Structure 1
Amino acid sequence: MNWTIPNILTVLRLLAAPGVAIMFLYFTRPWADWFALVLFVTAAITDWIDGYLARAWKQESRFGAMLDPIADKAMVVIALLVITGFSGMNPWILLPATMILFREVFVSGLREFLGAKAGLLKVTKLAKWKTTAQMTAIAVLFVPGILLHHFIDRTVGMDPEMVDSILSGTLSDEVGLLWLDASRIWAGWIGIALLWVAAALTLMTGWDYFRKALPFLTDEARK
């Protein structure tokens, strides 16, 4: 395997995937959320950069073609596990996340079963849009956790009644609680909406792959 820059970026993206979860082991929130978000977004950007460089410099390789989708799936799966866990198993996040994980496992198993014929399941434009939608949704879904913990930090020393009074407008908002709370809510719903879009695209690409593989799944195909 040649250690070209595109291949190095792909390997780094693969290593960054578990790093998203590790951030929460070594840092307190919201710093863990910030570091996980920066790491995830940086790794997601390299997904476009390594592909562009490989084509521009004619450095496309079998190793890169094999590892690139694995790195993408590892990033998405691990980030979804982290977000689902810290969202308190919010069903609006859990359900689309389950749909995405189901499709990724199903398509991976399909490719393994097809073996040499797996090349028929080529990455389509829709699949690329699916990956982009997943990564965008995940990046946005990191934001509510960040805003929530900044909100908590600013309410240190306040009793619940004072916080409620500020949010209801009875007391003056001197520390920006209203802005943080509204931003957290909007970021959460936008992220959830994007995740459902990503889940829909994910299922569409999964069905497309299954349809293409169907002729090779019959008993007649073995003859």
Structure 2
Amino acid sequence: MLTLPNLLTLSRIVAVPLLVGLLWRPEWALGYAVAFALYCLMGVTDYLDGYLARAQGTVSKLGQFLDPIADKIMVAAVILMLVGTRFEDRAIITGVHLIAALVILLREIAVSGLREFLGGIQVSVPVSRLAKWKTTCQLVALGALILAGALPGVAAVKLVGLATLWAAAVLTAITGWDYLRIGLKHMD
């Protein structure tokens, strides 16, 4: 069912290759500035698709399936680009901060697998309030780190991005453990 909320979700998935292209060359500050604007627009559509689906009473199985996938694709793509794109060794996420990025990626994969397993046995795991805070920290962190690529001379922006990346990683570990604990109760 292609409702407006589902089209907004699909637009986020379709926008990911463009976002990756804009983040491809870290020395291109303008590309990072446009990527930041696109990333913010994708964040707005993430909020709007859920809000409109609930407000219009058009929550669908397709939307419930696609929304978390769109979020994970976007987050994984941005993290990989901020870690992997190098120009004279100027990746945005380097050194010990790679641990925070790795924690976020591993949790996203593990929770996706856990949700798939639990869905197969008809067990629903609702999103906790803490998980929503994790998502907020994660989105702010990645947005700030993209903006840091657009403003390489403003160290405070990168510092905010890295600090919120670590906050997101800590919340990621806590919420990942919560989901795992719930899931273990349903495993043989």
TM-score norm. by structure 2 comes to 0.89
In 1, Cα distance between equivalents of 2:118 and 2:52: 30
Match for residue 214 of structure 1 among 181, 184, 188: 184
1:125 aligned to 2:110? no
Q: Once the 2 structures are TM-superposed, how far is the Cα of residue 121 of structure 1 from its aligned partner?
A: 1.7
Alpha carbons 1:112, 1:118 under 8 Å: kept: no
Residue 64 of structure 1: aligned partner? 63
Tell me if structure 1 keeps the 8 A contact 2:24–2:81.
no
Deviation at 1:192, TM superposition (A): 0.4
Deviating more after overlay: 91-100 vs 70-79: 91-100
1:3–1:196 CA distance, 2 compared to 1 (3 A): same
Change (3 A) 1:134 1:26: closer
Q: Which position in structure 2 is the counterpart of 1:16?
A: 15
Deviations 1:72-91 (A, max 9, x none): 11111101111112453512
> Which residue is equivalent to 1:155?
none
What secondary structure, in the 3-state scheme, does the structure 2 residue paired with 1:120 have?
Answer: coil
Matched, 1:140 2:110: no
Aligned length: 183
1:98 partner amino acid: L
Q: Does 1:31 align with 2:1?
A: no
Kept in 2: contact 1:14–1:71 (CA 8 A): yes
Shift, 1:15, TM fit: 1.4
Select the structure of larger CA radius of gyration.
1
Unmatched 5+ residue regions in structure 1?
Answer: 149-180, 219-223
1:1-223 alignment runs, 5 A limit: 2-24=1-23, 29-86=28-85, 87-88=90-91, 90-117=94-121, 119-148=123-152, 181=153, 184-218=154-188
TM-score normalised over the length of structure 1: 0.76
Report the aligned-residue RMSD: 1.9
Aligned identity (percent) is 41
Deviations for 1:192-218, whole angstroms, at most 9, x for unmatched residues? 000001111111111111011112222
Instruction: Name the SS of the counterpart of 1:217 in structure 2.
Output: coil
